[in-house]
Structure formats: structure tokens, C-alpha cells
Amino acid sequence: MARAPHRSGPLKQQNKKHKGVKRSTDRNPNSHRVTKNKILNKDQRRLLSKQLRIQKRLEVKKLEASRGTKENPIACVLIPLSSSVPTHLAQLLFQTCEPNTEVIKKPKSCLQNVVTIHSRILNKYFDLICAYSDDLFGCLDLANFADWLILLVPSNPTEIPDSVHELLTAIYAQGFTNASYAVLSSSSNLKELKQILERRFPVPESTIHQLNSSTNALHLLRHIASTNPSSFHAKGKNAKVAGQSTVAHTGARYRTRLLVDSIDLISENNAHDAITESEVAVCLRGRLRGAPLFLFEELDQNGSVLVGPRVHLTGWGDFPLIEAKWIDSYHLQQKWQISDLNAVKNISTKCIPKSTSVKLTNENEDCEEDSLSDEMSVDDSHQSTNENHWDATEEISDHLESELSGNSDIEYTSIASHTAHTMAASATSTFSSAQLAKFRAARMEEMFPDEVETPPNTPASERFVKYCGLPRFQSSVWPAEKNWLPKHYQNIACFRNYHRNRRTMIRYIEQKLANFQSEYKPTGNIFKYIPPGVDVELLLRPVSRDLGESILSHHTFPQPNEARKPSDPRPHPLLVWSLLPHETQMSVCHFTMFRRASAIHAVSDLIVIANAANKITESRENGICALEFGEEASTQVEREDKSIHDALISHRNKIDGKHNGKALYDPKMPIPPEAEPIKSKDLMLIQAGIRRFVAAPIYSAPSNPREKAKFEPFFPASESSTVATVYAPVMYSPVNILQFRIRVTEDEDGELSSPYVGELVATGSLRSVDPSHLIIKRIFLSGHPYKINQRHVVVRYMFHNPADVIHFQSVQLQSKSGAVGHIKEPVGTHGHMKCVFDRPILANDVALMPLYKRVFPKYVYEPVVSKYLANNDRSNDHVVTDSGQFRYVSSDVLQLRKKSISNPAREKMDQDESALFA
């Protein structure tokens, strides 16, 4: 009987397949739901794009409606580019641009020349603020504050002085939102004027507006009101002129800004607290603009005691806010005090956990799945910056505290004495001895980079105890035992990942600004922020009495109201800015900097000066020049100056002779002052966004943040970028950086003048905030081949005793020709050593031993710069003679020439002439 075949039925067992499918249900709780991508047809796509277009138009209309309201007028800053341009006439044209213009003038006691106009045709409000071109930092601050810059050009562009060109360079490098050029003349050739300006600076919108009638003024106001605010930056060949970033600083859109109208000092005892005799309270009044002023920041809380907000005064530092009064939209007076924070019970304070992996090492922390609190955490285990003010300088070492803190005389003397060694300019000769020494040192560093001499009286093992040897600079791992950190590193903040933290911070602030209207007065009847567009009175305390009096004298009128004339200039503007989270904490900031083009072009002139200075020094050392006194000594100085000038003239004649041109040479200014060498750890004035401070940066070559950066003794004069590292508060990019030189003048008796702001030497932007970045200094110990036998060489003059040879025996050697070798054994008792290289050595070669050490910038951060580096009274402006003509130079302007004695008669005549335009 045949066997029937097997047929599968419905009851067949189906075993489970074990294929190891990846399970992701724990990651996505809705994984069991099937999401279907619906494909839109043509009509649906058309309707979707229409809806997006309508939404964008509504956002633009909402933005346009919010600009120019009575609470938020458009701030227009008028900057004249010549002393012959009547700024008050341009302001008057805007006031009379239409017959029914409403003009709202500030009271006579207002510190700034501000006029508010209401155009009924445009239905917009405008604030017209007059600036002064002789006030460099005042113009920079107002450019940060302004919604629109109006640059008033003279009808003859040759009337623009060099100081205004420097001012425009600084403004373009700092960045601004929008700007327009205007000329108060009907006979000017606008096309030719634009071509002349575009030779040095890019013209926004490639247009120069004519401002010679009320109709033209109305057209310019219509253009300002209808143009959306956008940050200007140049493209193409003028990109470096305008700055490296597209905005002036991190978002004026994220900060509260206030132009102070009046300042008062309160020294009597307050109702809720007592003020000591050495402390005062500074009362500032003005109108808030921009973002709301938040009175409680969750991310800045670190402990059980709630900390109030801090505000920044440009040029003076950070100050705690203890009280605020304002009138809201319902015309009700509101008040907030710092004591209200401790009475709140239902404010949810967000505790930021301490970062467990924020150590000063090069660990990889690129995980993108951290929580918000973990992303925004900093190394606050040793933080005490919420309780200490930067002006107290409690975190600075004892040496720097004696130099940069205390009374004004000590700080004046310390800054002047520090700059005298490297940056003192002579009042009797073209170049001082300090300047010539710096020229020679920069030239020696260029000819023999990183080479140092071993001291004969000190063992090399003691002199270079902090140095170590590496087989290769970049590929070698930095030894942990050589990673010595300074004492003040325990008080600085370190982000786990700065760029990720910056992105998270921006999202956090944008979300906070989007929800701020619903948190005006939370439960408990306590205000969480002050809305923008209100007149507010801010009380800052504690402030030392000396500092408060300096702020009052620097930003107020020197004479009473009845003694002032309408033509008198206004005081320097004072701006108040709110701070973003963590910006009150100190850290290590790295800036990407570029030298100015004029400094790059003058490199050959510096070489000629250095060679001439070397010849003068050699003649002195050889005893050719006898010791002279009195008139003979001054004659000797004149001879040395003449030798330097003759060398420069012959050098320029050789260069210009090829082009059949005559060498242009100014004996008073043989080279541009910004071309002078810049040494690491020299005191510099840094303008970083809203902050202005004195620091001592060190320079290094650009590198990957996780790799070692090579320390540079001097700021290289090249087109490539250089990284400058300073101690400064935390910043969020983009932030544009301006670097000014601090100078002092040395007279015939050797006495030093007060430090003053020199020229703009470099511009750049913020690179990162990273204390763990390694900056390594490299030195070469050089030796001479004494006996050569192919690859075996006896080297001398590198060391002076055999103990040092044995100590550095494990360090690899190299030669200038590229050979690599090592020390075999010492020879004799005078430091000779037997070495073996991988190739034959010639007699003209040099043996080098590279040693490395990690370096840190000087812990110098002085935010109170307006008190020491500027003159409070503009009546002390001095006169500079230029080709038989006189021109006034303010104490705050870039002083590119030697000071001269003022002429009272000419000063009076210029005041009388200016009264005609009042």
C-alpha cells in the first residue's frame, strides 16, 4: 500500500524565530504606533507654501509694528565725520521734516543730547542722539546702543581727519546694525564722494543720502522706518575692514540696554539697610530698551540664599542691582527690592548640579543627549563670584592686588610703571630706549626663533626646571606631571563643551523671552522682570565712594546748569547692559585676532629700524660713544635719531625708486604707531562687545582646541590670524574684539605721564572660552659643533657642566638642517657632550635641544578703565599742529602723535566759531 504524503494543516505549530531584532521600545514609548508619511498632492503643497508665506509676512508686520512705537522709538545716532559738520543742523532738519511733527525734548539736566520726534506721516517715533567724533569710546558705545547709525559726511571728503578714519575703522571692526551715509550739502558730487569713501570703507547699501532739505530728511526717515534691522558686515575685499562677525556682540536682541539720562549718589542711610561711610549707592535713570530686565535668574543661583541680578556699566564693571522703580503701561508706579527675593516661597529655583566631569583635562565631552541642566552646568565647586564684586579684586593674587586695586594713585602708578618698560614713548626723541629695545628683541626673535642662552652661573637643571622634552610637538601627549595649574584656576569657570553650551543658552533665552509676558507678576505679587519701554530708576549698591564719585564726575557736566551754553559738548555717554547667565563668572577667553594692514606693510621698515638700533647699541658697548652729559647728551640723541631717519629714508628711496616715485616720509611719524611690535603679556585695552577692560594677553598660533598651541613671544605682523588669551568673564560668541595699546610718555627728566589710550592695533572675534586649552612655550638650547666625525659630533656651549648634560640626556636633539640625534655621554668638565645624529653634520650647522613648558596669561582683569585711561573734562583737550593748521584732539581719541601745548587763544576762537552754529 502506497504511503500518503504529508500535508500541512491549520493546526501546524509555528515556533518563534530568534533573529535578534533590535528592540527600541524603551527609547520611544510610542513605537507601537505606526506613523504614515502622507504624500501631499500639488494643491496641498501649494496651500502649505501659501500658509508659510502668510505666516512669515505676519511676523514681518509684527516686527515692523513693534519698531518705532512710543515705548520703543528707533534710536538714531548722528556721528559727524568732521568738526565742520553741524550735527545740530541735521537734528533740526529731522525735527522740521513735516509741518505737524511732534518734538519731545529731554530736560536741560539730561546728560545726552537726545530729541524724540513723532512723524505723523510715518506714524513712527525716532530718538535722535548726537555723538561727538572726538569721543572714540562714546561713539563705540552709542554704535552698540543704536538701532541706526547716520554718518554725516562733509561736502569735501579731504576734510575728514586721520582721527575720524581711525574712528570709522574701530566702528566697522566692532560691527553695527544698520547705517546710512548722509551729506549736508546740495553741491556735492555723491558718486565721487562714494568712490572716495569706498577706497577705505564699504558704504552700506552703496548709497549716500543727501540731507539738505526737509523733504530729504523725511525720505531718510521713511527709509529707516521701512528697513528691517539687520547686522551689517562687508563682503569681498573689505570683509576684514568691517570686522570678522556679523553682529557687534551677542545679541543686543537678548540684552536690556539703557542710556543713562541722570546720575545721583545716595550716601544717607536707606530704609531697609545701612550704607557705610566708604560705600555709596549709584542711582541711574533712563528708559529701558531691547529685552526685558529679568530680576531673577535661575541659572545663577548656587545655594539657599537667592542672588539678585547684576548689570554691567561699560568701562566700570559689574554691579549688583538692589532696587528698581518704574511706571508701567497702566501709569502705576511699581517697585522691586532685593529683599523681595527672600520673601518669595513659590518661585521654583532650578538647582544646577555640579558637573562631575568638568576637570581641567582634555576629556572628550561631545555627548549630545545630556539634559538641559547638565549642558548648562559649569565648574562651580570653587565659585564665589556671586558674592564678590570684580572691583574688590579678592581673587587676584597679592602682587596684582597691590598693583591694580586700591586708590587711584597706586593704580595710576602701577599701570604707568608697567607700560614704561615696553611702551613708553619719548617726548624728546622719535623713539624711546624702550621702543628701540622692543624693535631689537622682535628682530632677534624673527632671526633666531625661540633660541635662548644657557646661563653660565646657574645650572640648567635649575633654570629650566619647569621645562620638559617631547619627541614631537603635536603628536606627543603632554605629561600629566608637568600640568601645573596656577592658584587662581580654582576660581574660574570651565564649560564641559562651550559651543554646545552656547547653543543651549540661546535656546533657553529665546524660550524665556517668548514666555516673559505671562510671568510679569507671578504668585506672591513679586515681579520677575521689568518690561522694556518704561522709564526706570535703578539703584546699584554697594559701590565704593571713590568709584561712585569717579562715575559721577566722568559722566556729568563739570559746571552747573546756569553756567552751560547750548554749544557745550555733553559728557561721555554711560550705558547699562543686562548680563546673560554665567557672564559674571571669570574664565579663560581666547580671541582670534588680526593685525592691521598698515602694520603688515611696515614690516620692512621695522627691520631697518632694528638694524640701525643694533648698530647704535654695538657702538655704545664697544666704547665708541663716550659718556656725555647735558647739551652733549642731547646732541648724541639727535645724532642717533638722525642715523635711524637716514636709514629709513634710504630704504624707502630704494623701494619707491623702482616706481619712479618720491618717498613719502614724515620725520614726526616715521612708521605707523600700530606697526610697533606687540609683546606677550603687555597691558592692552580690550573692547569685547559690551565690556571694556585692561588685560595682559598672551599670543599663540591657531590650532585645534584639543591640540597643543604654540606660544608666540610677539604678536606676528602677518595676514594670518593669531590667538590672544586673557582672563575675562564668560562671553558668548559672536563677540567682536578691539585691541588698543596703552601708552605713557616719558619726559626729559624720566618722569612718566598718566597712561592714555593709544592706537587700535588689532581686531578680531571671540574664539572660545576654554581654560583647559594647552598653550605650550617652546625654547631651543643651541650648541656649536666642535668636532665632527660624520654623524658623531662633539657639541659645546649648550651646557657649562657635565651634570646638566646627564640631566638632559634623554631629550632628543635636532639641527637647523633637519638632522635628529641624541646625547651619548658628556665629555670633559666644561659641558661638552658627544652626540650622534641620523645624518652627517656640517660645520656651519647648529645643534638644538627643544624644551617645552605650559604657560598661562597674567591674571590681570581691570574693568574700571574709564577712571584711569581717560580725561574727565573735555576742556583739557589739547591742540595738535598739523602742517601749520591746528586741530583739537580729545583725550579719549586715538593719540597717534606726540602731545603738544594747547593754545588758549585758538581754543577760544574755535568756541566762538562753534557758537555761530548753535
pLDDT in tens, 608-640: 888 888 787 777 766 655 445 445 555 666 777
Instruction: Give burial (CB, 10 Å; 0-12/13-18/19+) of 903.
Output: middle
β pairing state of 792-796 and 775-789: antiparallel
8 A C-beta contact, residue 681 and residue 727: no
Any idea how long the chain is?
918
Position 747 confidence tier, pLDDT thresholds 50, 70, 90? low
Answer for the pair 306, 341: CB distance below 8 angstroms, yes or no.
yes
Average pLDDT over residues 305-310: 82
Least confident segment among 290-299, 415-424, 777-786: 415-424
Among 249-253, 327-331, 692-696, 801-805, the range scoring the smallest mean pLDDT is 249-253
Q: Which residues contact 65 (CB under 8 A, 6 or more apart)?
A: none
- β-sheet bridge partners, residue 75: 127
pLDDT score for 22: 61
Measured torsion, CA atoms of residues 268, 272, 274, 278, in degrees rounded to the nearest 10: -70
Mean confidence (pLDDT) of the chain: 77
Determine the pLDDT at residue 591: 96
Beta carbons of 139 and 167 less than 8 angstroms apart: yes
539 contacts 266 by C-beta, under 8 angstroms: yes
Instruction: Give CA angle at 363 (360, 365), nearest 5°.
Output: 110
- Determine which of 395-409, 415-429, 716-730 has the lowest per-residue pLDDT on average: 395-409
Helix (H, G, I), strand (E, B) or coil at 258: strand
**Helix (H/G/I), strand (E/B), else coil: 792:** strand
CA–chain centroid gap for 743, Å, is: 18
- Look at residue 318 and tell me whether its pLDDT is greater than 50: yes
Residues 671, 645: Cα–Cα separation, whole Å: 11
What's the grid cell of residue 469? 622634552
pLDDT of residue 570: 79
Q: In whole angstroms, give the CA distance from residue 240 to residue 173.
A: 8
Domain ranges of the chain: 65-241, 252-356+499-584, 603-657
Spatial distance between the Cα atoms of 423 and 743, rounded to a whole number of angstroms: 6
Could you give the strand order of the β-sheet that contains 179-183, starting from the edge strand earlier in sequence?
A: 102-105, 114-119, 124-130, 74-80, 148-153, 179-183, 208-210
By the 8 A CB rule, do 261 and 285 touch? yes
Written as one string, the DSSP assignment of 12-44 is ---PPP---PPP-TTT-TTTTSPP--PPP-HHH
340, 334 Cβ separation under 8 angstroms: no
The span from the CA of 862 to the CA of 400, in Å, is 10
700 φ, ψ (degrees, to nearest 5): -150, 165
Cell numbers that stand for 93 in this block: 532738519
- Give SS3 for 862: strand
d(CA 379, CA 352): 11
More confident residue, 427 or 717: 717
Q: What is the pLDDT of residues 634-672, one digit of tens each?
A: 566 677 777 787 788 877 777 765 545 455 666 667 788
- DSSP code at position 213: S
- pLDDT of 372 reads 36
Contact 145/74 with Cβ under 8 angstroms?
A: no
Q: Provide the sign of the torsion angle of the four alpha carbons 141, 142, 146, 149, taken in this order.
A: negative
Task: Count CB neighbours of 360 within 10 A.
Answer: 17
- Backbone CA torsion sign across 721, 724, 725, 727: negative
Q: How far apart are CA 233 and CA 202, in angstroms?
A: 9
Using a pLDDT cut of 90, give the percent of the chain over it.
37
Residue 5: per-residue pLDDT: 73
Mean pLDDT, rounded, for 426-441: 76
C-alpha 639, offset from chain centre: 41
Query: What's the CA gap between 648 and 608, in Å, rounded?
Result: 6
Confidence of residue 329 (pLDDT cuts 50, 70, 90): confident
State the amino acid at position 463 in one-letter form.
R
- 393-396's contacts with Cβ under 8 Å and 24+ in sequence apart are 395/488, 395/491, 395/586, 396/488, 396/859, 396/861
Place 705 in a pLDDT band, splitting at 50, 70 and 90: confident
- Which residue has cell 538641559? 372
The listed range with the strongest mean pLDDT (226-240, 331-345, 542-556, 644-658) is 542-556
Distances from the Cα of 230 to the Cαs of 148, 291, 577, 820, 822, in angstroms? 10, 17, 20, 56, 61
The pLDDT, as a whole number, for residue 740 is 94
pLDDT at 910: 44
Q: What is the pTM of this model?
A: 0.80
Count CB atoms within 10 A of the CB of residue 391: 18
- How far apart CA 748 and CA 496 sit, in angstroms, is 54
Please state, in angstroms and rounded to a whole number, the distance separating the CA atoms of residues 690 and 705: 26
pLDDT for res 190: 86
Helix (H) / strand (E) element for 183: namely strand 179-183
Distance CA 661, CA 861 (A): 48
Q: Give the separation between CA 106 and CA 883, rounded to whole angstroms.
A: 41
CA distance 622 to 913: 59
Higher per-residue pLDDT: 125 or 20: 125
* Residue partners of 345: CB distance under 8 A and separation at least 6: 524
Omega of the bond prior to 532 within 30 degrees of 0, cis?
A: no
Whether a cis peptide bond, with omega within 30° of 0, leads into 581 is no
Q: Which residue has the cell 646625547?
A: 823
Mean predicted confidence (pLDDT) in 680-688: 93
* pLDDT at res. 875: 38
Within 8 A by CB and 6+ apart from 349, the residues are 298, 301, 306
Region 444-458: what's the mean pLDDT? Answer: 90
Query: Is 3.40.50.620 the CATH number for 65-241?
Result: no
CA 814/CA 681 separation, integer angstroms: 30
Lowest mean pLDDT among 54-68, 392-406, 719-733, 801-815: 392-406
Q: Residue 889 in contact with residue 877, Cβ under 8 Å?
A: yes
345 forms bridges with which residues in the sheet?
A: none
**How many angstroms separate the CA atoms of 605 and 585, rounded?**
43
What backbone torsions phi and psi does residue 114 show, to the nearest 5 degrees?
-120, 130
Q: Is the pLDDT of residue 523 over 50?
A: no
Chain centre distance of CA 120: 41
**Is the pLDDT reported for residue 501 higher than 50?**
yes
Percentage of residues of the chain with pLDDT beyond 70:
72
Pick from 142, 144, 134: nearest CA to 81? 134
Closest by alpha carbon to 609, among 435, 762, 451, 761?
Answer: 435
- Other CB atoms within 10 A of residue 155 CB: 17
809 and 802 Cβ atoms separated by less than 8 Å: no
Angle at 591 between CA 590 and CA 596, to 5 degrees: 155
pLDDT tens digit sequence for 242-289: 333 334 445 567 899 999 999 999 886 554 454 567 889 999 999 999
Handedness of CA 458, 464, 469, 475 (dihedral sign): negative
Mean pLDDT for the stretch of residues 856-860:
92
pLDDT band at 878 (very low <50, low <70, confident <90, very high): very low
Helix, strand, coil shares of the chain as percentages rounded to 5?
A: 30, 25, 45
Q: Return contacts of 543-547, CB within 8 angstroms, 24+ apart.
A: 543/279, 543/280, 543/281, 543/282, 543/319, 544/278, 544/279, 544/280, 544/391, 545/267, 545/277, 545/278, 545/279, 545/280, 546/407, 546/408, 547/316, 547/391, 547/864, 547/867
- In which band, very low, low, confident or very high, does the pLDDT at 901 lie, cut at 50, 70 and 90? very low
How confident is the model at residue 243, as a pLDDT?
A: 35
